[in-house]
Structure 1
Amino acid sequence: MFGDVGATSRFLVEQLESVLKQPLQNGAYFSKDAYVEDGGIEMLHMSDAFYEVVIRGNLKQVICSADEYKKYRISEKDILIARRSLNYEGAAKPCLIPPSPNPLIFESSFIRVTPNPEKVGFLFFFHYLSNDWVRQKCIKPFLTQSTISGINQSNLARVPVLTPPLRLQQEFARRVEAIDRLKNTHRESLTQLDALFASLQHRAFRGEL
């Protein structure tokens, strides 16, 4: 849809900070005393973001003030960028937040990125930041390499972002959502087939077939 990301010049390219709805924000740090088993606010840690989408329901909880929650809260309208990683390939990886009525904050290993919908579509922006070529050519030059690899706010703000017309970005999102629905349908079918096979196997060993 967008041509060769590495060679195209027909679309405008802007620095990442110019396509955001609000400034970049690093996550919170709390001492061990702030963590509780129950009754706190869920807090996202690096170990919870190994995959593209965070899995809610079993996250650590902390006690925080109303001001702290307001500063570090995160929702499905945000994208988290790994600010540091022991694995070089994991540095600056983006992660999505699933919709949930329960509050969520994020810790200091992440940078919160909130795209401006008037500049970039949400799914387009996420997949752009996940693209292998973009990561190699546009993001990795801004990474620091040491014992812990990572990216800071000032470097992340300078990452070049391709900004095609919104109608193209929306069409891209529509196609991605269609593929995701198809994948979910296939997963459900596989689950049903596995259950059927297990049932037939059980009956076979009992001599019922």
Structure 2
Amino acid sequence: MLIEAGNQRSVMNLARDVGVIILGTILLAISAKVMVPFYPVPMTTQTLVVLCLGLFLGPVRAGATVAVYLFEGMMGLPVFAGSPPAVAGPAYLLGPTGGYLIGFLLCAIVSGFVAKRLSGTRPVFGAFLAVLSGSIAIYVPGLAWLGSFLGYNEKLLGAGLYPFVSGDVTKAAIACVLFMIFRDYHVMRRIR
């Protein structure tokens, strides 16, 4: 009887995790479509969603969510910014924004790990460090990959960093505020 109850609980946990991951990929796909056009990297609300995924879901679920999202895009689903009409699929990851997409995966894992690790500290401090480390995790591979298209000079920073810093600071602040508001809600405690 105990084994059966344990299996049922495991199945329910798995079902919950799959549902959370699917919902997360839907949020990421929607946030990819909410954008301010910039060249060569569009500014979207994806950063906000990825940071929130890390804060609320932790490194494993947040990382799994972004990995599934990237897989959906690689399979040709129009989940990335600019798709359609931009070609989805593996070619999209090889374009100028590919490094930022890989950075989303790193951000989800890093911000989730930092938030979980610092959960015993003051929540605002932990959330701030989590979003800061997550944002850095987006920019490092994003700029490295974009540099292969633009060169590693001031033009790279002008195209891939400077235009986005103020928006990303705003999104990071919003993620921290959302975390502070919703971290104690019963539903959020259950999905962590």
TM-score (norm 2): 0.28
Comparing both structures, which one devotes a greater share of its residues to strand? 1
Comparing both structures, which one devotes a greater share of its residues to helix? 2
TM-score (norm 1): 0.27
Which is greater in Rg?
1
Which of structures 1 and 2 has the larger relative contact order (alpha carbons within 8 angstroms, sep 6+)? 1
